[in-house]
Amino acid sequence: MPDLGPNKTTAVTYPPESLYEQWSNHADGLDMAISQYMIRMVEAGRQNISMDDASSESIRELLQQKADLKREIQRKEQRIQDLERQLQHTSRSKIVSYIEDNPGARMPEITQTVADTVPGRVASHLDALEGELIKQQADGYYLDESDG
């Protein structure tokens, strides 16, 4: 970057007001005078940064990482959907079974029956998730981030 010492000259630009406001806000965020900001940005633009400078190998690596991350996200989203379906199915099955065994059951009784099954269902969900998405330690459960 150029030295911003005492040897200066005037250069003028006429940006649209909205663009000038963006520059000004960005300069303020960098704790920089607008004139200093404009000099720095012009010089940065003159560096001729191009994709030709990046090796095709590093671009390939980044694209591969991106694809891997997308696949991992899709896998995790599918797992979440599966668990939600399993939870919904378990709750519905319990309700249907209870009403079948207790015709005319009322809402509070049904709610209590479902609530009574929560600890067992949570325990089975934790067992299913452990080692895949979560890990148990002495003080509780944590996300298992050992995959990367």
- CA 91 to chain centroid: 30
> For residue 120, what are the CA distances in angstroms to 60, 75, 114, 127?
47, 26, 11, 11
First-to-last alpha carbon distance for the chain, in angstroms, is 38
Tokens, residue 116 = 């009574």
pLDDT confidence of residue 52: 57
What is the value of pTM for the model shown?
0.35
Taking the domains of the chain in order of start, what are their residue ranges?
11-48, 69-143
pLDDT in single tens digits along all 148 residues of the chain: 556 667 888 888 899 999 999 999 999 998 989 988 898 888 888 876 555 555 677 778 888 999 999 999 999 998 888 888 777 777 778 888 889 999 999 999 988 988 888 887 788 778 888 877 888 888 888 888 875 4
Strand partners, 136: 141
Cα dihedral 148, 138, 121, 127 sign: positive
If phi > 0 it is left, if psi is from -120 to 50 it is alpha, else beta; for residue 143 that is beta
